[in-house]
Structure 1
Amino acid sequence: MKKFLPSLLAALVLGLCALAVFSKKDNPAATTESQAFATPPREPWPHETGDIPASERATFGSLPNGLRYVIIPNSEPPKRVALRMHIDAGSLHEEDDQRGVAHFLEHMVFNGSRNFPDPKDLIPQMERLGIAFGAHANAYTSFDETVYMLDLPNLAEPTLQLAFTVMRDFADGALLKEEEIDKERGVILSEKNSRDSVGMRLMEQQFEFLIPDSLITHRFPIGTEEVIETAERERFTSYYEDYYIPSKMTFIVVGDIEVPAMEERIRETFSSLRNPEQAGEEPALGTVPRDTGFRAAVFADKEVPSDDVSLLKIAEAEVKRDTVATRLEKQPLTIAHAILSRRFDILAKKEDSPIRSGSASRGVWFQTLEFGSLDVTAAEGRWPEAVTVLEQEYRRALEHGFTQDEFDEIKAKLLNAYEQAVEQDETRPSPAVAMEVVSSINDLRTFSSPQEDLRIARLGFAELTPADCLEAFRAFWDTPDLTLVLTTAEETATTQEELLAAYRDSQKKAVAPPEEREQVDFAYQDFGPAGTVLSEEKVEDLDLTQLVLSNQVRVNFKRTDFQKNSVSLLARFGTGKMSQPRHLPGLDQLAGILLNGGGLGAHSEDELDRILAGRNVSAGFGIGETALILQGRTTPEDLERQLQLMCAYLTDPGFRAEALRQYRKALPDLYNQLRHDLSGAQAQMSQWLHGDDPRYVLPELEQALSYTIADVQQWLRPQLENSYLELSIVGDFEPEELRAALLKTFAALPPRPETPETDPSALQIAFPATPAEKTFTYQSKIPKAAAMVLWETQGMGENVSLTRRLNILADILGNRMREKIREELGATYSPQASSNPSESYPDFGYLFGFSIAKPEDLETINSIKLSLGETLAKEGATADELARALNPVLSQLEQIERDNGYWLQTVLAQSQRDPFRLNWARERNDDYKSITLEEINKLAARYLLPERAVRVRLEPEPDSAE
């Protein structure tokens, strides 16, 4: 059972990929407060019954009908607001003949509500005001909650009025017309199909074994095909009327707002909501297994990509109020699990280790079930040995506990996380704060400030010892009621016996206590004599600076206040995939793993992790099409250490054998996954789209396994040591402190070339000749496929203006696809269209339409996409369609300019190599605003023709599907 807790959390949530909703009566006329039935009593806010104060920034309130609200003024981003409506009900509240109705209701509000009775009205109205379907409007349904989200791009009265009207319609205004329910059934079935996987099916089997008498096992949010296909309208209205009631609602507002004005708007909008005479019953969640003793289970499927072994503990949860004491109670076990996870990480990298990875965790589900999970992923064919590792590391922790240096490392990391939350509190984005409030509501946890969280953490850490962690680990895990689970591809009649035997044999062997590790200092603090600045240019209109250092290293930096205490860095150098040896396809995969997991010459990756614990530094490599990329994120305090770390990776990368071992252990599982998953067909398609260029070819497994460290070094060392290098830095720093640190690090490196290496012949990629049709297959019993139409366009080059217009054209096509394929025909869940021009290859680009579907529907769906493209090419778009596609983009322009990532990735990166990127930033807003319908229609007429199209089918092989 691979990483059981995270897997469950992923399964808990069913989002709408765009917005989602619910339903009520045929004529849900607004009622007055005097008409409302008595308000059921609600539990107090957690901060009212505990000793942890709520954040001072938050205003908590409630209406007479029981609806609660939380309002938090927050200035990042400016002139915007995030709205959330939390419903304290999910799939667990369904009856047997309603399984899937809670999630189904998400979709239905868009299909007609009190103020938007025509199903075609709401989304276009939102788009005209700049509210993008998906980006600004979304929802999800879990087992025990439903959450609706609107992020408003401005505070204009029409936008606020629409948003609050929509939220009120969500609450009690859905019409739930029978014809719309029937039309949506196909969409829900398509979504169920798109989420279907061997992993999900095995999880359902595992739940049936582990918690057979729990309602959780029988209430996965997606529901059952029978209910989705046949549920009567009354089943929808019943759930809606029983659970979408003010006494189960909390409305959350976070943004650049005034509290009194928002309180008044909430009262005006929601006070007339009424509770039913009899609210829906709370579900009986069933029972948790007790006194099971030690047991083992095997779950097998030939499509499982890896062998995973888990040791599980399941118990009834003890629900406690959120207090300082209860938070401190959790600290020791949290640290113990983190230490054990680190031990698994270290063991996985040792020579001949039988495991690829491992983790330890504990969680509480729905205030009723406590779950502990120790997990390891085995190397191919070695799960019996992995059982031994799991059992012995579990027992080593149980018998001998944890060392002081292990404890200090995890303590430093956790404490640092709390400290950074305090430093960055002032500039947390409103949507993130809003979701934190949602999480606190569902977890029955006080919405406390980062400052209070840090105070409590320090209070615990001041007294905590490794012995306390051992005591907590024993209290939780020293029990006979454990379950050993193997998930594997092949099972024989004796597999379960072999699983138990491997565990029992391991128990007979003594385990030694862990050894204290020697403390080591960071070895890369002196790069020689400091360099100087050769030239400096201040780009006044963009408020950024460009340097050329004495060794020809280029530096671009921009100081911002968008995210307090955060600095992002990106170095581009070398030639990347452009120079990848053609006879070594896929070598870039090994290269990335060696660079990211190979540590440094003086420090292994694990040693680095220990040395840097508590410091805010990071380094991650990427293999770009025309450059190697080294990125990091830090704080002003750790900026110099961050620069030292990046220089260390440039001058002395480790290329360690432990990373090669990890690569070779992972490959068989990866290839097995590609063999049985849609992603494998997509990999084949990518190779074909790139003209079978070896740089985009996935080699045979045997060839990939044959690659060596020397192969990578021969390709990358010249790029690391002696190539044009441009470093860009954006964030909250003092320029003079940055300059001083740069001169001691990057400026002290050996000289670099003044110009980048180019090879025009390496930038030629041949898109398939059009028109064309192609099918790519994979082996799976899951009847999940994808339909795709691609229209050849061109690369970006310097012409970003064309790229922007193609993006708008793709959005218009995507809207037509959604309206026709999803809303009118109900044939697929989430059709999408996008433009994908290459920044590297001047003649390579395409605009595509993509959707998940059943294999038997692919031809029809692709024919519709082709027809929609041709109609758009011949007849053009309308002014309203342009506005609906363009306005959400225009509404984001100001916010994007307050994003460090935009300045780093789009503007500063390689801006000395490509000065036109600065003009992209200067002209961006005016260019978008100048887009005309005539321009869009000309592009449609040029590109969206059938003769420029490629039709692609991605599907299971016919003899492998169910």
Structure 2
Amino acid sequence: MKNIKSTILLASVSLALSWSFQAAPTWAQVSQVKATTKAAAEKNLPLDPAVRTGKLPNGFTYYIRHNEEPKKRVTFYLANKIGSVLEDDSQRGLAHFMEHMSFNGTKHFPKNELVSYLQKSGVRFGADLNAYTSFDETVYQLPIPSDNPEILKNGIQIMRDWAQDATLDPTEIDKERGVVLEEKRLGKGAQERMQRAYLPVILNHSRYSLRLPIGTDEVLNNFKPETIKRFYHDWYRPDLQALIVVGDIDVNEMEKTVKAKFSDLKKPAVEKPRTKYTVPLTGQNQFIAITDKEMTVTVAQVFMKQPALDLHTASQYRQSIIRGLFNRMSGARYAEIMRQANPPYLQGGADLSGFLGGLDTYSVYAVAKPGELEKGFKTAWRETERIKRFGFTQTELDRAKQSFLSDMEAALKEKNKTNSDSYVNEYLQYFLKGTAAPGISFEYDLVKNDLPGIALSEVNAITKTSIKSTNRDVMLLAPEKDKATLPAEAVVNTWIKDVEAEDLKPYNDEVSKQPLLANAPAAGKITAETKDAALGTTTLTLSNGIKVVLKPTDFKDNEIVFSASAPGGTSLYSDADFESAKNASGMVESFGVGNYNPTQLEKYLSGKQLSVSPYISERTQGVSGSSTPKDLETAFELIYGYLTEPRKDADLFQGIITSSKAGLANRLNDPNAVFQDTLSAVLGNHNVRRTGPSIAKIDQISLDREYAIYKERFADASGMTFTFVGNIDIEKIKPLLEKYIASLPAKNLGEQAKDLGIHIPEGQIAKNVYKGSEPKASVDLIWSGAFEYSAAEKIQLDALKECLEIRLIERLREDESGVYSPGAFANNSKFPTQRYSIFVYFGCDPKNADKLVASTLDEINKIKTNGPAQVNIDKWRAESIRSRETAVRTNGFWLGYISGQINDKEDLHQLDTYTKDLNSVTVESVKATAQKYLSGKNYIRMQLLPEAAAAK
């Protein structure tokens, strides 16, 4: 598929409480868990009673749940306990290849008819319709409309076809070889080369280290159709499969259909045993140091491997809570180190989380500043040693408990508005790994019952079992130029011993007792109020000139999102001040707010569900964030504080500057960074505001100047408009608006952003960047120019982009097998001038770049000459309608729409013409749009090619 998830993520994902949350079980079940016998604690937790589950006589499992978020939608997942670890030597890569082939022809949908049919039904290829293959599993996902009986019927048939009726046509297999090899090519680079070296070590030379899902070139190029058919026959069988169905459906009817459709799945006459592979613990320590010329940083990471924590029983759940508390407190410690005036490394941290093959790992890592590996590593290890030696403090645990419970309460409040995808993912883990899925009400009661009784000694005890001196792997990754200076294993072991011998002091948990704000706001007034019944909004005018748009919704029970903006931004400052202006909001925010430095602020906000961030963009400044209704006043405090009581910290500033310079030291090693910097410079006509980062630019940043610019940008809030969307009580929010927003300073300066005259240059430009050693190319094609800005024209442009992308997928990928995932996107703007840009991009074999560009231009010429195929317009229109149906039921959509319309000075009722504008798109209109915007008059071709190509 388009977005195959076939890579291992070694930054481990925590197993503890990684599930999402669901509806309530019965009180009898909750009482059963609260019955505190050891036998009850060791019982498997019950499955969420809101899901209908069963197993057919052939071993096929199903999970079905009714859920109306989103309405008129249903999500199907076909889960298979089948992954690359099951391949024999002649099949390496074929588990993943089989996943591709499921989209290239099944019994009821030959060749590519499956994808085409779903696109016409409003299902987006790659974004909605997708799949992934990993070591132990292959999962297909299909979200479809549930209000059309024909689509629903065919959706179930597709799942049945995927289960056992792929056609595996030899011609289609040969065509797909190129696609999979191009996907493999995209992954090549420093990380992939280094991964090949270290995976066998950290996976203890287990079967996992020999079965990367992407496979080998030798197998992918040469396997016979019979080989993949054998894999399919052996492993795609009902006892290893489950269908998960969650959505706006009738559970009883769906269960009948599933039984009728899937009961005839056949098991092989001779079943191969499904071996459960593991990564063995050897009791040995290992060390590996790897360098690569394209690596940009030096990383030291220590893995301490141990048996995994399963999550089946109440006692295991309690242990997972303890682990969650441990990781929260550990994370806070390491975050505090990064907030020091001069952080000892670029990044650092430690946590206890899931690994692979039945293991968990306590992992400590440091991304070192150039030449400071020892300092960075020792700092990271020192905090782990401090935790091991002294444990955490009671105040740290109290905050972690408060935060933990707050997260659970927030999830509980949204139990009736949980998205179907969350349930699907939960049942997926239940089937694949047996991970408990009892439902949010059940989980909340477990947490509420267990959390108070968890003692500090229990959390600290984790260090005794997790921070170990055996089964410990040390890995160093670094730029090749630093190879000679990398320490040997004995040296790193000495560093560890040095830290362990230090006279460490226990952690001192300083918590401020001051109020957040130094000065209480002087409340203003609401001076005017208007309502828009059609839009469902209330607009308030405040005494300082600020306007506030409120849109109450019932999409989420526990969510309010907001943003505010006023014209100005960095456009009002000279090039000499640009770096200070651009970095002002991020840096000043990092200094804390009001009476609190960043560490004190982090502790103050513990247990609160909110986020607030000021920003300064090129043409606006403002603030954005989210909150629960419960924590809304704290969010208002932060808004007021960031805009009126910013902090200035010379030590923190210098630390950020030092770290930023260190982070750029090896940037030019990375081919993609070099290409993106060049692309940005060309598209920005080499304006200094569009060129890439550099140490010289960092040197232009002045603390005094950026602080002054920050205060200037927020000194006059009179031109600002706030938008709030979500579970808003208008009468309750009004006093908060008067206290914290109507009190913001207003000078009525009437500032407007400036037109800097920066846009994509006119004419035809071709530029190659030669960087990197792998035989792969990245191609970007860009068309740009003046745009006739209107709602209808934007829709015509979107239709053109989508019809072009459909054809590029069909031709470059399916017909020519030359790319993995070609893409197209279109931008348009109203201010400072009305302009558009259309991008086409893909990765490929450098030898094929010219041919694929020619094919792209040929498809564009066909659209300009004949227009797109009507069927492609129909696909785009169906996708647009279906996407909009679900989007308008989210707070994020309305926040973006309202604030965007206000910033662009557009009518808030523009949505009223959406359907009309959508239906006005025709073959002829897209043809005319292509002729207008893809004329080739302004056309840029940018390519990243390997260094070897420069000599040819």
Distance 2:769 2:835 in 1: 21
TM-score of the superposition, structure 2-length normalised?
0.92
1:849 is displaced (CA, Å) by 1.1
Once the two structures are TM-superposed, the CA of residue 254 in structure 1 deviates from its matched residue by 0.8
Q: CA 1:380 to 1:632, structure 2 compared with 1: closer, same or farther past 3 Å? A: same
Q: Does residue 514 in structure 1 map to residue 514 in structure 2?
A: no
Residues 43-89 of structure 1: per-residue CA shift (max 9 Å, x gap): xxxx9993422223211112221111111111111111111111111
What CA distance in whole angstroms lies between the structure 1 residues aligned with 2:866 and 2:531?
48
Measure, in 2, the Cα distance between the counterparts of 1:566 and 1:460. 27
Pair 440,839 (structure 1): closer, same or farther in 2 beyond 3 Å: farther
Tell me if structure 1 keeps the 8 A contact 2:343–2:659: no
**Matching residue within 697, 709, 713 for 2:707:** 713
Amino acid at match of 1:690: G
1:273 paired residue among 258, 265, 270: 265
Note closer, same or farther for the CA distance 1:925–1:435 as it changes in structure 2 (3 Å cut).
farther
2:924 alignment counterpart: 934
Q: Displacement of 1:711 after TM fit? A: 3.0
Q: Find the residue that maps to 2:521 and give its secondary structure.
A: coil
Q: How does 1:553-702 map to 2 (within 5 A)?
A: 553-584=546-577, 586-587=579-580, 590-657=583-650, 658-670=652-664, 672-673=666-667, 675-702=669-696
User: Is 2:239 the partner of 1:242?
Assistant: no
Alignment of 1:303-342 (within 5 A): 303-315=294-306, 317=307, 320=310, 322-342=312-332
1:742 to 726, 737, 744: 737
* Aligned match of 1:475: 465
For structure 1, the 5+ residue unaligned runs are: 13-46
SS of 2:534's equivalent in the other structure is: helix
Q: The residue matched to 1:570 in structure 2 has which SS?
A: strand
Structure 1 position 143 matched with structure 2 position 135: yes
Q: Do residues 393 (structure 1) and 380 (structure 2) align?
A: no
- The one-letter code matched in structure 2 to 1:201 is R
- 1:658-683 per-residue CA deviation (whole Å, 9 max, x = no partner) reads 25523531343246345413143122
Question: Structure 1 residue 202 and structure 2 residue 194: aligned?
Answer: yes
Does 1:450 find its partner at 2:440? yes
Indicate the residue corresponding to 2:809 in structure 1: 818
Map Cα deviations across residues 817-840 of structure 1 (whole Å, 9 max, x no partner).
Answer: 111110001000000111111353
Contact 1:568 1:904 in 2 (8 A): yes
Matched residue of 2:641: which SS?
A: helix
Quickly say closer, same or farther: Cα 1:287–1:688, change in 2 above 3 A: closer
2:735 maps to a residue whose letter is A
* Residue 475 (structure 2) pairs with residue 485 (structure 1): yes
Name which of 451, 460, 465 aligns with 1:461.
Answer: 451
Shift of 1:959: 7.4
Partner of 1:85, secondary structure, is strand
Q: Distance in 2 between matches of 1:704 and 1:321?
A: 48
Give the residue type in structure 2 aligned to 1:642.
Answer: A
Q: State the alpha-carbon separation in 1 of the partners of residues 421 and 83 from structure 2.
A: 22
CA distance in 1, matches of 2:10, 2:312: 26
Query: Residue 422 of structure 1: CA displacement?
Result: 0.6
Is residue 793–residue 847 contact of structure 1 (8 Å, CA) maintained in 2?
no
Q: CA deviation at 1:815?
A: 0.8
Given candidates 291, 295, 303, the residue that maps to 1:300 is: 291
In the other structure, the counterpart of 2:98 is: 105
Q: Which amino acid aligns with 1:114?
A: K
Equivalent residue, structure 1, for 2:283: 291
Asked if the contact 2:309–2:316 (Cα under 8 Å) also holds between the matched residues in 1, the reply is: no
Name the CA shift for 1:5/1:498 in 2 (closer, same or farther; >3 Å): farther
Gap change, CA 1:465 and 1:11, over 3 Å in 2: closer
Q: Which amino acid aligns with 2:906?
A: F
Change in Cα spacing, 1:810 to 1:10, as seen in structure 2 (3 Å) is farther
In structure 2, how many angstroms separate the alpha carbons of the residues matched to 1:113 and 1:924? Answer: 37
Residue 580 of structure 1 deviates from its aligned partner by 4.3
* Larger CA deviation: 560-569 vs 195-204: 195-204
Q: How far 1:645 moved relative to its partner?
A: 0.9
Find the counterpart in structure 1 of residue 783 from structure 2.
791
| Offset of residue 460 of structure 1 | 2.3
SS at match of 1:946: coil
Equivalent of 2:373 in 371, 380, 383:
383
Match of 2:890 in 1: 899
Structure 1 position 851, deviation (Å): 0.4
Which has the larger displacement, 456-465 or 736-745?
456-465
SS where residue 304 of structure 2 aligns? strand
Matched letter for residue 7 of structure 1: L
Aligned: 1:183 with 2:175: yes
Contact 1:87 1:146 in 2 (8 A): yes
Q: In 2, are the aligned partners of 1:789 and 1:866 still within 8 Å (CA)?
A: no
What is the Cα-based RMSD across aligned positions, in Å?
Answer: 2.6
Instruction: Give me the whole-angstrom Cα distance separating, in 2, the residues matched to 1:934 and 1:785.
Output: 35
Distance 1:839 1:665, change over 3 A: farther
Equivalent in 530, 533, 537 of residue 540 of structure 1: 533
Displacement after TM superposition at 1:814 (Å):
0.5
The 1:346/1:321 distance shift into structure 2, 3 A limit, reads: closer
Q: Does 1:432 align with 2:427?
A: no
Q: 1:151 to 1:334 in 2, by over 3 A?
A: same
For the 8 Å contact 2:330–2:351, the answer to whether it is kept is: no
CA distance in 2, matches of 1:960, 1:789: 20
Alpha-carbon distance in 2 for matches of 1:718, 1:493:
47
Q: Which moved more, 1:92-101 or 1:943-952?
A: 943-952
- What residue is the counterpart of 1:72 in the other structure? 65
CA distance in 2, matches of 1:67, 1:5: 28
Change (3 A) 1:596 1:159: farther
Among residues 752, 760, 781, which one is paired with 2:773 in the alignment?
781
Q: 2:825 aligns with which of 828, 834, 837?
A: 834
Amino acid at match of 1:946: G
Q: Match of 1:666, as an amino acid? A: S
Cα separation, 2, equivalents of 1:120 and 1:563? 38
Q: Verify the 8 A CA contact 2:560 2:726 in the aligned structure 1.
A: yes
Q: In structure 2, what is the equivalent of residue 27 of structure 1?
A: none
What is the deviation of 1:187? 0.6
Whether the aligned pair in 2 keeps the contact of 1:551 and 1:750 (CA below 8 Å) is yes
* 2:82/2:137 contact within 8 Å kept: yes
The whole-number CA distance in structure 1 between the counterparts of 2:946 and 2:581 is 28
Q: Residue 52 in 1 paired to residue 45 in 2?
A: yes
Match of 1:353 among 343, 359, 378: 343
Structure 2 CA distance for aligned equivalents of residues 334 and 85 of structure 1? 30
